Amino acid sequence: MCWDNNEMSDPGLDPRITPGAHVCLARLIRLDRVDNLVSEASIVAERVGLHRDNVAVQRSSGVARALRRRPSTWECYLRPMSFVSVDDRGLVRWVTMSSPGAKNAIPKVGWGELAEAFEGFEASDQRALVVIGADGDFSAGADLGADFSGFGTAAANAEYMKLPNRAALALHRISKPTVAAVDGVAVGAGMNLALGCDVVIATERARFAEIFVKRGLTLDFGGTWLLPRLVGLARAREIALTGRIVEAEEALSIGLATLVVPASSLEDTAVEIAGALAEGAPLAQRLIKVALDRSSSMTFEQSLAYEEQAQAVLLGSEDLFEGAAAFFQKRPPEFKGR
Protein backbone atom coordinates (compact mmCIF):
# COMPACT_ATOMS: atom_id res chain seq x y z
CA MET A 1 0.00 0.00 0.00
CA CYS A 2 1.19 3.60 -0.61
CA TRP A 3 0.77 5.75 2.45
CA ASP A 4 3.98 7.78 2.95
CA ASN A 5 5.28 10.50 0.67
CA ASN A 6 8.13 8.38 -0.68
CA GLU A 7 5.74 5.66 -1.82
CA MET A 8 3.59 8.25 -3.53
CA SER A 9 6.26 8.87 -6.19
CA ASP A 10 5.52 7.15 -9.49
CA PRO A 11 7.19 7.80 -12.86
CA GLY A 12 3.86 7.44 -14.64
CA LEU A 13 1.88 9.83 -12.44
CA ASP A 14 2.26 13.52 -11.64
CA PRO A 15 1.36 14.10 -7.94
CA ARG A 16 0.93 17.81 -8.67
CA ILE A 17 -2.09 16.89 -10.76
CA THR A 18 -3.26 13.65 -9.16
CA PRO A 19 -4.03 13.80 -5.41
CA GLY A 20 -2.31 11.21 -3.25
CA ALA A 21 -5.41 9.09 -2.76
CA HIS A 22 -5.94 8.93 -6.50
CA VAL A 23 -2.29 7.98 -7.03
CA CYS A 24 -2.97 5.00 -4.76
CA LEU A 25 -6.05 4.12 -6.76
CA ALA A 26 -4.28 4.47 -10.11
CA ARG A 27 -1.40 2.30 -8.95
CA LEU A 28 -3.84 -0.39 -7.86
CA ILE A 29 -5.27 -0.59 -11.35
CA ARG A 30 -2.13 -2.16 -12.78
CA LEU A 31 -2.05 -5.51 -14.53
CA ASP A 32 0.38 -6.87 -11.95
CA ARG A 33 -2.16 -6.11 -9.21
CA VAL A 34 -5.27 -7.65 -10.85
CA ASP A 35 -5.79 -10.44 -8.32
CA ASN A 36 -5.86 -8.09 -5.34
CA LEU A 37 -7.62 -5.19 -7.02
CA VAL A 38 -11.03 -5.38 -5.37
CA SER A 39 -9.86 -6.16 -1.83
CA GLU A 40 -7.01 -3.64 -1.81
CA ALA A 41 -9.10 -0.95 -3.46
CA SER A 42 -11.72 -1.38 -0.74
CA ILE A 43 -9.02 -0.84 1.88
CA VAL A 44 -7.85 2.29 0.05
CA ALA A 45 -11.39 3.63 0.08
CA GLU A 46 -11.67 3.13 3.82
CA ARG A 47 -8.26 4.59 4.64
CA VAL A 48 -8.63 7.81 2.65
CA GLY A 49 -12.33 8.29 3.38
CA LEU A 50 -13.62 7.72 -0.12
CA HIS A 51 -17.24 6.75 -0.71
CA ARG A 52 -17.98 3.30 -2.16
CA ASP A 53 -20.48 3.96 -4.92
CA ASN A 54 -18.88 6.14 -7.61
CA VAL A 55 -16.32 3.73 -9.06
CA ALA A 56 -17.25 0.20 -10.10
CA VAL A 57 -14.37 -2.23 -10.48
CA GLN A 58 -14.81 -5.17 -12.78
CA ARG A 59 -12.74 -7.65 -14.80
CA SER A 60 -12.98 -8.29 -18.53
CA SER A 61 -10.71 -10.61 -20.52
CA GLY A 62 -8.33 -10.80 -17.57
CA VAL A 63 -7.80 -7.02 -17.45
CA ALA A 64 -8.95 -4.92 -14.49
CA ARG A 65 -10.64 -1.70 -15.45
CA ALA A 66 -11.87 1.14 -13.25
CA LEU A 67 -15.13 2.66 -14.45
CA ARG A 68 -15.53 6.05 -12.81
CA ARG A 69 -18.47 8.41 -12.97
CA ARG A 70 -17.52 11.85 -11.71
CA PRO A 71 -19.90 13.39 -9.12
CA SER A 72 -20.23 17.08 -8.39
CA THR A 73 -17.30 16.82 -5.96
CA TRP A 74 -14.02 14.84 -6.12
CA GLU A 75 -15.42 12.16 -3.86
CA CYS A 76 -15.39 8.68 -5.38
CA TYR A 77 -15.78 5.18 -4.06
CA LEU A 78 -15.15 1.56 -4.97
CA ARG A 79 -17.46 -1.44 -5.11
CA PRO A 80 -16.99 -4.92 -6.47
CA MET A 81 -19.55 -5.74 -9.14
CA SER A 82 -21.98 -8.59 -8.49
CA PHE A 83 -23.31 -10.62 -11.39
CA VAL A 84 -26.53 -11.56 -9.57
CA SER A 85 -28.96 -9.35 -7.70
CA VAL A 86 -31.94 -10.64 -5.70
CA ASP A 87 -35.21 -8.83 -5.08
CA ASP A 88 -38.30 -10.13 -3.25
CA ARG A 89 -41.65 -8.84 -4.50
CA GLY A 90 -44.33 -10.31 -2.31
CA LEU A 91 -44.20 -14.10 -2.63
CA VAL A 92 -42.06 -13.91 -5.77
CA ARG A 93 -38.27 -13.70 -5.76
CA TRP A 94 -36.54 -12.06 -8.73
CA VAL A 95 -32.99 -13.01 -9.68
CA THR A 96 -31.40 -10.61 -12.18
CA MET A 97 -28.19 -11.34 -14.08
CA SER A 98 -26.07 -8.38 -15.12
CA SER A 99 -22.71 -7.99 -16.83
CA PRO A 100 -22.88 -4.62 -18.63
CA GLY A 101 -21.57 -4.63 -22.17
CA ALA A 102 -21.29 -8.43 -22.30
CA LYS A 103 -24.94 -9.44 -22.83
CA ASN A 104 -24.94 -10.85 -19.29
CA ALA A 105 -22.26 -13.41 -20.05
CA ILE A 106 -21.58 -15.39 -16.88
CA PRO A 107 -18.15 -14.78 -15.32
CA LYS A 108 -16.39 -17.40 -13.24
CA VAL A 109 -17.66 -15.89 -9.98
CA GLY A 110 -21.17 -15.71 -11.47
CA TRP A 111 -21.67 -19.48 -11.30
CA GLY A 112 -21.34 -19.42 -7.52
CA GLU A 113 -23.63 -16.40 -7.27
CA LEU A 114 -26.28 -18.19 -9.32
CA ALA A 115 -25.96 -21.37 -7.25
CA GLU A 116 -26.30 -19.40 -4.02
CA ALA A 117 -29.30 -17.51 -5.38
CA PHE A 118 -31.07 -20.75 -6.36
CA GLU A 119 -30.21 -22.50 -3.10
CA GLY A 120 -31.28 -19.43 -1.14
CA PHE A 121 -34.63 -19.33 -2.92
CA GLU A 122 -35.26 -23.03 -2.21
CA ALA A 123 -34.63 -22.41 1.51
CA SER A 124 -36.75 -19.23 1.59
CA ASP A 125 -40.45 -18.62 2.18
CA GLN A 126 -40.89 -17.22 -1.33
CA ARG A 127 -43.25 -19.27 -3.50
CA ALA A 128 -42.04 -18.58 -7.06
CA LEU A 129 -38.84 -17.49 -8.78
CA VAL A 130 -38.27 -15.28 -11.83
CA VAL A 131 -34.85 -15.30 -13.54
CA ILE A 132 -34.23 -12.37 -15.86
CA GLY A 133 -31.33 -10.57 -17.51
CA ALA A 134 -30.58 -6.86 -17.38
CA ASP A 135 -30.34 -4.41 -20.28
CA GLY A 136 -32.36 -6.25 -22.90
CA ASP A 137 -30.65 -9.64 -22.90
CA PHE A 138 -31.04 -12.86 -20.92
CA SER A 139 -27.51 -14.32 -21.03
CA ALA A 140 -24.81 -15.00 -23.59
CA GLY A 141 -23.62 -18.01 -21.59
CA ALA A 142 -20.16 -18.46 -20.11
CA ASP A 143 -17.83 -15.49 -20.35
CA LEU A 144 -15.03 -17.28 -22.22
CA GLY A 145 -13.25 -13.99 -22.83
CA ALA A 146 -12.69 -13.55 -19.12
CA ASP A 147 -12.11 -17.21 -18.24
CA PHE A 148 -10.27 -18.59 -21.26
CA SER A 149 -6.78 -18.02 -19.84
CA GLY A 150 -7.65 -20.18 -16.86
CA PHE A 151 -8.28 -23.36 -18.89
CA GLY A 152 -5.54 -25.97 -19.01
CA THR A 153 -5.37 -29.68 -18.31
CA ALA A 154 -8.43 -31.89 -18.45
CA ALA A 155 -8.26 -32.29 -14.67
CA ALA A 156 -8.20 -28.51 -14.15
CA ASN A 157 -11.02 -28.02 -16.63
CA ALA A 158 -13.11 -30.66 -14.85
CA GLU A 159 -12.68 -28.66 -11.64
CA TYR A 160 -13.86 -25.55 -13.47
CA MET A 161 -16.96 -27.36 -14.75
CA LYS A 162 -18.02 -28.09 -11.19
CA LEU A 163 -18.93 -24.40 -10.93
CA PRO A 164 -21.65 -24.28 -13.63
CA ASN A 165 -22.73 -27.80 -12.67
CA ARG A 166 -23.43 -26.68 -9.11
CA ALA A 167 -25.60 -23.83 -10.41
CA ALA A 168 -27.44 -26.09 -12.88
CA LEU A 169 -28.11 -28.69 -10.20
CA ALA A 170 -29.30 -26.05 -7.73
CA LEU A 171 -31.81 -24.79 -10.32
CA HIS A 172 -32.94 -28.31 -11.17
CA ARG A 173 -33.46 -29.19 -7.49
CA ILE A 174 -35.76 -26.24 -6.80
CA SER A 175 -39.06 -27.72 -5.70
CA LYS A 176 -41.04 -24.53 -6.31
CA PRO A 177 -42.16 -23.00 -9.64
CA THR A 178 -39.55 -21.10 -11.66
CA VAL A 179 -39.95 -18.69 -14.56
CA ALA A 180 -37.36 -17.53 -17.11
CA ALA A 181 -38.11 -14.10 -18.58
CA VAL A 182 -36.07 -14.07 -21.79
CA ASP A 183 -35.31 -10.98 -23.83
CA GLY A 184 -32.58 -10.72 -26.45
CA VAL A 185 -29.99 -13.49 -26.48
CA ALA A 186 -30.21 -16.74 -24.52
CA VAL A 187 -27.35 -18.80 -25.89
CA GLY A 188 -25.11 -21.58 -24.61
CA ALA A 189 -25.42 -21.98 -20.88
CA GLY A 190 -27.78 -18.99 -20.94
CA MET A 191 -30.20 -20.94 -23.13
CA ASN A 192 -30.02 -24.01 -20.90
CA LEU A 193 -30.49 -21.91 -17.79
CA ALA A 194 -33.75 -20.68 -19.31
CA LEU A 195 -34.79 -24.21 -20.32
CA GLY A 196 -34.14 -25.36 -16.76
CA CYS A 197 -37.01 -23.18 -15.55
CA ASP A 198 -40.60 -24.44 -15.49
CA VAL A 199 -42.02 -21.62 -17.63
CA VAL A 200 -40.13 -19.74 -20.35
CA ILE A 201 -41.54 -16.35 -21.36
CA ALA A 202 -39.81 -14.96 -24.46
CA THR A 203 -40.06 -11.60 -26.12
CA GLU A 204 -40.52 -11.23 -29.87
CA ARG A 205 -36.82 -10.39 -30.18
CA ALA A 206 -35.57 -13.32 -28.08
CA ARG A 207 -33.01 -15.60 -29.75
CA PHE A 208 -31.97 -19.03 -28.51
CA ALA A 209 -28.92 -21.04 -29.57
CA GLU A 210 -26.99 -24.09 -28.35
CA ILE A 211 -23.94 -22.31 -29.68
CA PHE A 212 -21.42 -24.70 -28.10
CA VAL A 213 -20.53 -26.56 -31.31
CA LYS A 214 -19.46 -23.27 -32.93
CA ARG A 215 -16.95 -22.86 -30.09
CA GLY A 216 -15.70 -26.43 -30.28
CA LEU A 217 -17.64 -27.47 -27.19
CA THR A 218 -20.44 -29.81 -26.19
CA LEU A 219 -23.65 -28.84 -24.41
CA ASP A 220 -23.47 -28.03 -20.71
CA PHE A 221 -25.62 -26.58 -17.91
CA GLY A 222 -27.94 -29.56 -18.35
CA GLY A 223 -28.67 -29.00 -22.03
CA THR A 224 -28.01 -32.64 -22.91
CA TRP A 225 -30.88 -33.64 -20.59
CA LEU A 226 -33.19 -30.68 -21.10
CA LEU A 227 -33.22 -30.08 -24.85
CA PRO A 228 -34.45 -33.49 -26.14
CA ARG A 229 -37.14 -33.60 -23.44
CA LEU A 230 -38.56 -30.32 -24.71
CA VAL A 231 -38.22 -30.61 -28.49
CA GLY A 232 -37.65 -34.33 -29.14
CA LEU A 233 -34.43 -36.13 -29.98
CA ALA A 234 -34.37 -35.49 -33.75
CA ARG A 235 -34.88 -31.74 -33.43
CA ALA A 236 -32.48 -31.57 -30.47
CA ARG A 237 -29.80 -33.17 -32.64
CA GLU A 238 -30.31 -30.61 -35.39
CA ILE A 239 -30.29 -27.61 -33.03
CA ALA A 240 -27.28 -28.81 -31.05
CA LEU A 241 -25.17 -30.04 -33.99
CA THR A 242 -25.64 -26.84 -36.01
CA GLY A 243 -25.63 -24.34 -33.15
CA ARG A 244 -28.04 -22.20 -35.17
CA ILE A 245 -30.19 -19.37 -33.87
CA VAL A 246 -33.78 -20.24 -32.96
CA GLU A 247 -35.97 -17.14 -33.20
CA ALA A 248 -38.79 -16.52 -30.74
CA GLU A 249 -41.71 -17.71 -32.88
CA GLU A 250 -39.94 -20.96 -33.76
CA ALA A 251 -39.01 -21.42 -30.10
CA LEU A 252 -42.70 -21.17 -29.27
CA SER A 253 -43.77 -23.59 -31.99
CA ILE A 254 -41.27 -26.32 -31.03
CA GLY A 255 -41.71 -26.06 -27.27
CA LEU A 256 -38.62 -24.12 -26.16
CA ALA A 257 -40.76 -21.19 -25.04
CA THR A 258 -44.08 -21.24 -23.24
CA LEU A 259 -45.32 -17.97 -24.72
CA VAL A 260 -44.04 -14.98 -26.68
CA VAL A 261 -44.86 -11.39 -25.73
CA PRO A 262 -43.75 -7.89 -26.81
CA ALA A 263 -40.55 -6.76 -25.10
CA SER A 264 -42.47 -3.98 -23.35
CA SER A 265 -44.75 -6.59 -21.72
CA LEU A 266 -42.08 -9.03 -20.52
CA GLU A 267 -41.84 -7.94 -16.90
CA ASP A 268 -45.60 -7.45 -16.47
CA THR A 269 -46.24 -10.90 -17.93
CA ALA A 270 -43.64 -12.43 -15.63
CA VAL A 271 -45.25 -10.71 -12.66
CA GLU A 272 -48.65 -12.11 -13.64
CA ILE A 273 -47.50 -15.69 -14.27
CA ALA A 274 -45.16 -15.89 -11.27
CA GLY A 275 -47.88 -14.40 -9.08
CA ALA A 276 -50.34 -17.08 -10.18
CA LEU A 277 -47.73 -19.81 -9.56
CA ALA A 278 -46.99 -18.38 -6.12
CA GLU A 279 -50.65 -18.77 -5.18
CA GLY A 280 -50.65 -22.49 -6.02
CA ALA A 281 -50.54 -25.36 -3.53
CA PRO A 282 -46.83 -25.80 -2.64
CA LEU A 283 -46.97 -29.51 -1.76
CA ALA A 284 -48.84 -30.37 -4.92
CA GLN A 285 -46.46 -28.29 -7.06
CA ARG A 286 -43.46 -30.05 -5.56
CA LEU A 287 -44.81 -33.51 -6.25
CA ILE A 288 -45.94 -32.55 -9.76
CA LYS A 289 -42.44 -31.29 -10.62
CA VAL A 290 -40.85 -34.52 -9.40
CA ALA A 291 -43.32 -36.64 -11.36
CA LEU A 292 -42.82 -34.75 -14.63
CA ASP A 293 -39.03 -34.83 -14.32
CA ARG A 294 -39.16 -38.60 -13.87
CA SER A 295 -41.86 -39.25 -16.45
CA SER A 296 -39.57 -40.18 -19.33
CA SER A 297 -37.74 -42.78 -17.25
CA MET A 298 -40.77 -44.40 -15.60
CA THR A 299 -43.04 -47.08 -17.03
CA PHE A 300 -46.77 -46.46 -16.99
CA GLU A 301 -47.07 -48.81 -14.00
CA GLN A 302 -44.36 -46.89 -12.16
CA SER A 303 -46.13 -43.63 -12.90
CA LEU A 304 -49.35 -45.01 -11.41
CA ALA A 305 -47.46 -46.18 -8.34
CA TYR A 306 -45.94 -42.72 -7.90
CA GLU A 307 -49.32 -41.03 -8.31
CA GLU A 308 -50.82 -43.40 -5.75
CA GLN A 309 -48.24 -42.54 -3.12
CA ALA A 310 -48.16 -38.82 -3.88
CA GLN A 311 -51.94 -38.50 -3.88
CA ALA A 312 -52.13 -40.43 -0.62
CA VAL A 313 -49.97 -37.74 0.99
CA LEU A 314 -51.92 -34.84 -0.49
CA LEU A 315 -55.33 -36.28 0.41
CA GLY A 316 -54.35 -35.89 4.05
CA SER A 317 -52.92 -32.39 3.75
CA GLU A 318 -54.31 -29.13 5.13
CA ASP A 319 -54.02 -27.65 1.65
CA LEU A 320 -56.60 -30.11 0.33
CA PHE A 321 -59.15 -28.98 2.89
CA GLU A 322 -58.32 -25.34 2.22
CA GLY A 323 -58.75 -25.89 -1.52
CA ALA A 324 -62.11 -27.56 -1.02
CA ALA A 325 -63.30 -24.88 1.39
CA ALA A 326 -62.26 -22.11 -1.00
CA PHE A 327 -64.12 -23.81 -3.85
CA PHE A 328 -67.39 -24.06 -1.94
CA GLN A 329 -67.02 -20.56 -0.47
CA LYS A 330 -66.20 -19.14 -3.89
CA ARG A 331 -62.98 -17.43 -2.77
CA PRO A 332 -59.28 -17.76 -3.67
CA PRO A 333 -57.52 -20.47 -1.62
CA GLU A 334 -54.76 -19.56 0.83
CA PHE A 335 -52.41 -22.53 0.74
CA LYS A 336 -49.85 -23.01 3.49
CA GLY A 337 -47.84 -25.89 2.13
CA ARG A 338 -48.96 -28.23 4.90
Residue 156 has pLDDT above 70, yes or no: yes
Share above pLDDT 70 across residues of the chain, in percent, rounded to a whole number:
75
The ranges assigned to domains in the chain are 5-80, 84-278, 282-328
User: What is residue 330's predicted lDDT score, i.e. its pLDDT?
Assistant: 87
Residue 68's region, left for phi above 0, alpha for psi from -120 to 50, else beta, is: beta
Angstrom CA distances, 252 to 202, 248, 294, stand at 8, 6, 24
Angstrom CA distances, 140 to 161, 259, 275, 276, stand at 17, 21, 27, 29
User: What is residue 34's predicted lDDT score, i.e. its pLDDT?
Assistant: 36
CATH T-level assignment (fold) for domain 84-278: 2-enoyl-CoA Hydratase; Chain A, domain 1 (3.90.226)
252-287, pLDDT tens digit by residue?
A: 999 999 999 999 999 999 999 999 999 999 999 999
pTM over cut 0.85: no
- Predicted confidence band of residue 206 (pLDDT cuts 50, 70, 90): very high
Task: Name the DSSP class of 11.
Answer: T
